[in-house]
Amino acid sequence: MILANARLLTMDGPEIDRGWVEIEGDSIARIGAGDPPGPFEDMGGDLLMPGMINPHGHLPMTLFRGLAEEVDDRLFRYILPLERACVTEEVVRIGTRLALLESIRGGVTTVADMYYFEDAIAEELAASGLRGVVGQTVATFPVPDAPDIDAAFAQADALAARWTGHPTVTPGIAPHAPYSTGPEILSRVAAWSEAHPGLPVQIHLAETADEIAWAAREHDRSTVEIVAEAGLLRPGLIAAHCVYLTEADRALLAQSGAGVAHCPRANGKGGRPTAPIADLAARGVPLGLATDGAMSGNTLDLFSQMAPATIAQKVAQGTRAALPPSQVLEMATTGGARVLGMADRIGRLAPGFRADLIRVSLDDPRQQPVYDLAATLVFSTLPSDVRSTMVGGRWLMIDRAVQSLDPAAILADARQTARTFGARIAEIDRSAP
């Protein structure tokens, strides 16, 4: 298959005004400028670029989107009780399907998920065609899918046994956060990780001021130091947020090979300062751009995240030169691939890389004229400008029509579930002190 008559942003070399991409099986065989070497699908002058990579989120939480927007203590007041009461495997499947639908429509081709019932999420992911990492949650608070820690580890074992080697789904483990696991369980996760080489570990890290205070009070160190001492700060760790970092934390991160998933909308909506992304980038830390769950960031595409990411750095540094759009685009593609340990196969359009790509229209009046393609993509392009989405050589969306999922059924299921959630939230509010 050849896609031609396209503007190409490969993230692997200079822009190509008019070029072509040849695909064999699930990968890119060749890329060239000008006329294609054979029969082709005409991209009509639209942009082809790597599909975006979302290295941190909670797919099923689409069902929580817009709940308790103004409540600072939402995790303990609403989310955990609602999860214990309402989150079943079926609910997880419904929320995941909605998230996958939104991701495909928004130009995301790889997602990382940390939640519950990850085997079901892996099945939905595989059925959708999207590429992804699934991490079984381990935490000391009661969770909907495991009666205790041993059961959670057993689920992680089963997940790894079933999905290791799958072409698009990568299993892993997800200790919730240092404060919700503690050093001993983190050490046990490190041992699990040693026994499952190559599988990613996802964690929330240095996300809140409360977490920093807990680490100082209980352990007289930083939360990054706790993770490092447990043996987890190393390649394969996907650390989400990393908002509150000391100088020592930054140096530790830079030496470790761990990756950071930056969630600018979720952090900003939580009233938190921006993570020191420009500094981490200068230190060579692998950096991706992520959505977090839809209860935190509301949307699951990375177009929504790119402008907030660069604007927060410009404000923090007091100059428009901070974190230019080209660097934000790298975070959304090659950077995310590094964070997920997949930089040798996704995040670029290049021979030998997986054919994970999106066709993006640049013809909306809001996008014109185009002097600076990176600025156009970061500041003027919307998820709705993505025309088609391909993962592993398979079109998952063609001209806005998703091929691998049933949108009407997914929306109907989601609305039905939302009515249950809304009723439960009302109960929580009635019974609150």
The verdict on whether omega for the bond into residue 369 sits within 30 degrees of 0, i.e. cis, is yes
312: its two tokens: 């927060």
Token pair belonging to 117: 């019932």
Beta strands at 386-391 and 357-360: parallel, antiparallel or unpaired: antiparallel
- Regarding 426 and contact with a second copy (CB under 8 A), the answer is no
Radius of gyration of the chain (CA): 21
* Least Å from the CB of residue 433 to a second copy: 19
Q: Which is nearer to a second copy, 197 or 432 (CB)?
A: 432
Minimum distance from CB of 62 to a second copy (Å)? 8
- Contact status: 44 vs a second copy (CB under 8 A): no
Candidates 87, 205, 311, 328: give the one binding a second copy (CB under 8 A).
311
Q: Kindly tell me which of 19 and 106 has the beta carbon lying closer to a second copy.
A: 106
Q: Which of 307, 329, 331, 339 binds a second copy (CB under 8 A)?
A: 307
Among 45, 411, 423, 427, binds a second copy (CB under 8 A): 411
Q: Does 423 bind a second copy (CB under 8 A)?
A: no
Nearest alpha carbon to residue 108 among 238, 294, 270: 294
Select from 56, 141, 58, 45 the least CA-distant residue to 98.
Answer: 58
Q: Any bridge partners for residue 390, and if so which?
A: 357, 395
Rounded Cα distance, 387 and 128, in Å: 17
What is the three-state SS of 230-246? CCCCCCCEEEEECCCCC
Q: How far is the CB of 155 from a second copy (least distance, A)?
A: 28
**How far is the C-alpha of 422 from the C-alpha of 426, rounded, in Å?**
6
Task: Show the binding pattern over residues 344-363: x = contacts a second copy (CB under 8 A), - = does not.
Answer: -------------------x
Contact status: 82 vs a second copy (CB under 8 A): no
Question: For a second copy, how many residues bind (rule: CB under 8 A)?
Answer: 69
At CA 163, angle to CA 157 and CA 166, rounded to 5?
A: 155
Q: Is 276 in the site for a second copy (CB under 8 A)?
A: no
Biggest alpha carbon–alpha carbon distance for the chain: 71
Site string for a second copy, 83-102 (x = CB under 8 A): ---------------x--xx
Q: For residue 321, what are its two tokens?
A: 């030169």
Of 24 and 69, nearer to a second copy (C-beta) is 69
Looking at the Cβ atoms of 189 and 289, the one nearer to a second copy is: 289
Q: What is the pattern of x (binds a second copy, CB under 8 A) and - over residues 50-69?
A: ------------xx-xxx-x
Contact positions with a second copy (CB under 8 A) in 312-341? 312, 314-315, 317-322, 324-325
Residue range at the interface with a second copy (CB under 8 A); choices 52-60, 182-190, 218-226, 302-310: 302-310
E strands along 150-279, which residues?
A: 169-175, 201-205, 237-241, 259-262
Contact set for a second copy, span 103-162 (CB under 8 A) = 105-106
The C-alpha atoms of residue 404 and residue 328 are separated, in whole angstroms, by: 29
Q: Does 81 bind a second copy (CB under 8 A)?
A: no
Name residues contacting a second copy, limited to 253-272 (CB under 8 A): 265, 268-272
Phi, psi of 201 (to 5 degrees): -120, 125
**Residue 430 interacts with a second copy (CB under 8 A): yes or no:** no
The four Cα atoms 210, 81, 98, 405 give a dihedral, to 10 degrees, of 130
Quote the CA–CA distance of 327 and 248 in Å, as a whole number: 25
Query: Of 29 and 322, which CB lies nearer to a second copy in the complex structure?
Result: 322
Of the candidates 42, 352, 422, 423, which one interacts with a second copy according to CB under 8 A?
422
Q: Which is nearer to a second copy, 202 or 376 (CB)?
A: 376
Residues 6 or more apart whose Cβ sits within 8 Å of residue 153: 138, 188, 192
Query: Beta partners for 111?
Result: 54, 132
Interacting residues toward a second copy by CB under 8 A: 62-63, 65-67, 69-72, 74, 98, 101-102, 105-106, 265, 268-274, 298-301, 307-308, 310-312, 314-315, 317-322, 324-325, 363-366, 368-372, 375-376, 379-380, 382-385, 407, 410-411, 414-415, 417-418, 421-422, 425
